[in-house]
Chains A and B, each alone.
Chain A
């Protein structure tokens, strides 16, 4: 089934014209996690080029979009300068919006949400709070039990969060962006 509207949306949000990819495979050759992905980056490009709904959903539900580290090696080497990392950011937000999520996305989304929660209230990252919230979200209670005390002993962990003064602006930034239903996942 044709699904061109989604490809047009992708292009208008990211500037990526999927048809410009001529499948040279340099992105996949340079991708450090290509072998861990359901589809390596050049394959994601090819699936998008078909323009079918089936393939678009296949991509949203794959682990490829979540395992992309945005290291930008693909973009650095692409002869057509196709911004795959930017496209991956967009596809991730679409996958959340459509609620088509590969199981590999769960710890990664949990980490991002814990990170953002931490800075929303204080303005700065509170690493201990981030780890605690991540554990609560993922039930990985025993993870890093030895590293955290060692970090503390080496002076690398604050027990209390650092708070900025202008927390009103932080609150407004979150309210008008990620918490704003109209622009959410844009």
Chain B
């Protein structure tokens, strides 16, 4: 199965273990990933906070490049990029906006590409395949943490249930794990405030970790580089504000599946986390 691939900036830098694990499991599952040529940054929170036209033009160029390459479906593992691409595609259904963005880009854009997140890719092309290829069941009790950008706004993304999503939980069950019911599945971790307001990230991410710990989770499973880096790299700041400091690891769904498929921890980038992963 061939599919387009937009890694985005985080996956080439601070979250390269997400990229490594996506690539590693895709190989085992016979999913051929074709990277978009000469892709650019989606603009993330910064662009839409500062200028609407900029926030649409950056994702539009990415999709225009993918169209030029003949891709019809593109997987976007970063939840923030996935959200920006989907929302832009929706906004550009408005003819005035599309005309203006085409004028800026000077590239043809028709908005026909199917943008999917990593959970959708695994559900669509992997679920049966994964089950058959599990060699070391992921026998752990975990909290699946979806965050904001994978599920909201529901009217545009149309993905899973907005308050109590299940797709990641289902994938964990496929590889032999159990998932907890908990209250912070889709609460915000502090997102883009990691550098500018680390204090608020510590507070919000602390609430998430505490609830997961209280309910006996051995690990948090995520599908967003911002959630992962806030919960993992900011653990020092978090542990200063929560009652019981926590050493629960935070790993990507692709790393959990990779372990179950028997892929080496190092190849999955599990040595790159700040909080030691022993699963």
A contact residues vs B (CB 8 Å cutoff): 13, 32-33, 36, 67, 69-73, 75-76, 81, 89, 92-93, 96, 107-108, 110-113, 115-116, 119, 123-125, 127, 130-131, 134, 143-144, 146-147, 150-151, 154-158, 162, 164-166, 169-170, 172-174, 176-178, 183-186
Contact partners of B105 in chain A: CB under 8 A? 169, 172-173
State which of B45, B53, B54, B104 has its C-beta within 8 Å of the C-beta of A70: B45
The 3 nearest A-B residue pairs measured at CB: A71-B188, A125-B9, A72-B152
- Encoded as 1 (CB less than 8 Å from any A CB) or 0, chain B from 30 to 57 comes to 0000000011110111111111111001
Instruction: Give A75's nearest chain B residue, CB to CB.
Output: B153
Contact in complex: B162, A76 (CB < 8 Å): yes
**Number of residue pairs A-B, CB distance < 8 angstroms:** 164
A124-B51 contact, Cβ under 8 Å, with A76-B162, A107-B196, A173-B105: no
Contact in complex: A107, B272 (CB < 8 Å): no
Q: How large is the interface on B (under 10, 10 to 19, 20 to 34, 35 or more residues)?
A: 35 or more
- Encoded as 1 (CB less than 8 Å from any A CB) or 0, chain B from 57 to 95 comes to 110010000000000000000000000000000000000
A174-B38 contact, Cβ under 8 Å, with A69-B190, A76-B152, A108-B197: no
State which of A13, A112, A155 has its C-beta within 8 Å of the C-beta of B50: A112
State which of B9, B46, B103, B196 has its C-beta within 8 Å of the C-beta of A124: B9
A76-B153 contact, Cβ under 8 Å, with A111-B196, A173-B57, A173-B61: yes
Contact partners of A178 in chain B: CB under 8 A? 50-51, 53-54
State which of A73, A115, A151, A186 has its C-beta within 8 Å of the C-beta of B14: A151
Q: B193 at the A/B interface (Cβ < 8 Å)? A: yes
Contact in complex: A73, B50 (CB < 8 Å): no
B contact residues vs A (CB 8 Å cutoff): 9-10, 12-16, 38-41, 43-54, 57-58, 61, 103-107, 148, 152-155, 162-163, 186-188, 190-193, 195-198, 200, 204, 233, 236, 271-274
Contact partners of B154 in chain A: CB under 8 A? 76
27 contacts between A and B (CB under 8 A): A32-B188, A33-B204, A67-B200, A69-B193, A70-B191, A71-B152, A73-B148, A76-B162, A93-B52, A113-B46, A116-B47, A119-B9, A124-B12, A125-B41, A125-B44, A127-B13, A147-B233, A151-B233, A154-B271, A158-B13, A164-B40, A165-B38, A166-B38, A169-B107, A173-B105, A183-B53, A186-B53
